[in-house]
Amino acid sequence: MRVEIFIPEPSRSGREGDRGALRRKAHYQETMEKRQLGPRISPLDVHNYNFHSILGQGGFSKVVLPSLANRKVAMKVIKKTPECNYNSIRIEASVLMMLHDNPFLCQGYVGFQTQHYAFLVMDYLSGGSLARHLEPGARHSSFLHNSGIVHRDLKPDNILLDQDGHVKICDFGLAVPNVFGDKTISGRAGTLGYMAPEVLQRQRYNAAVDWWALGIIICQMASGDSPFYEGNNREKIINSTIIDEPRITH
């Protein structure tokens, strides 16, 4: 579905401004008609939205959950203040417009403004943020460590989601129990690419090796790449992990 977003300039006085407003209104009615939201319900009137809850809040804006024509959307509400960066708002709207062909990126629908606020309407993504999934993984690792268990093989394949989207750590085949306090263990165990340098160098180690692996996983989730060499050459993987500075791709 094609997305067209436009943040109108502040209203101008006189007939020219009125004609411009009418053209913008006609443009959006036509656009939303194509989206099957119906021409009779204008997405440019904030009073046509039914507001349900606040999804998030920042210094100058908040994201709320409204619905229009029984369709839930996310709406970013930006308060217009002297400190407000209007160019940033237009850039965000333009970027949302550019992403309409990618099903893996948030889709924008419409942008409009009132005297005191600017609004960006976009997809409502009910699954929540990535932080929702990262935080349980860290919390579950802490529970293991507080129980004296070092997993030793944390990797994406061993962190699963149940049918309700809850994060579950699994596969304890390499786990070592009773590792409390200053106690350390030894032995090369785990999966190359997620093993900490001390494991690869056959040094003694503790639960910190699990945090290393979780850090690799977070980097992969954020950028799509490991911060170290991730080819098929075993020796290069080992040497990169031990010697190289981590690289974060953008």
Of 153, 164, 171, 182, the active-site residue reads 153
Cα(169)–Cα(58) distance, integer angstroms: 32
Tell me the two tokens of residue 71. 């369709």
Q: 15-122 architecture in CATH?
A: 2-Layer Sandwich (3.30)
From 90, 155, 87, 165, select the one nearest 120 (Cα to Cα): 90
The token pair at 57 is 């809040």
| Residue 153 is among the residues annotated as catalytic for this protein | yes
pLDDT for position 99: 67
pLDDT in tens, 108-144: 888 888 888 999 998 888 877 766 777 788 888 898 9
Cα(97)–Cα(199) distance, integer angstroms: 47
Q: What is the pLDDT of residue 177?
A: 92
Write out residues in the chain with pLDDT < 50, as ranges: 1-18, 20-38
Give me the residues paired with residue 119 across strands. 77, 112
Whether residue 213 contacts residue 155, with contact meaning beta carbons closer than 8 Å, is answered with yes
Amino acid 70: pLDDT? 86
- What is the distance of C-alpha 185 from the center of its chain? 36
- Residue found under tokens 């062909």: 101
**Fold match flag (15-122 vs 130-243):** no
- pLDDT at residue 27 in the model: 47
Listed residue (40, 59, 56) closest to 48, CA to CA: 40
Cβ atoms within 10 A of the Cβ of 214, count?
A: 21
Element (H, E) at 38: none
pTM: 0.57
> What does the block give as tokens for 240?
């990169």
pLDDT of residue 9: 42
What CATH number matches the domain at 130-243, 1.10.3720.10, 3.30.9.10, 1.10.510.10, 3.40.50.1470?
1.10.510.10
Domain definitions of the chain by residue range: 15-122, 130-243
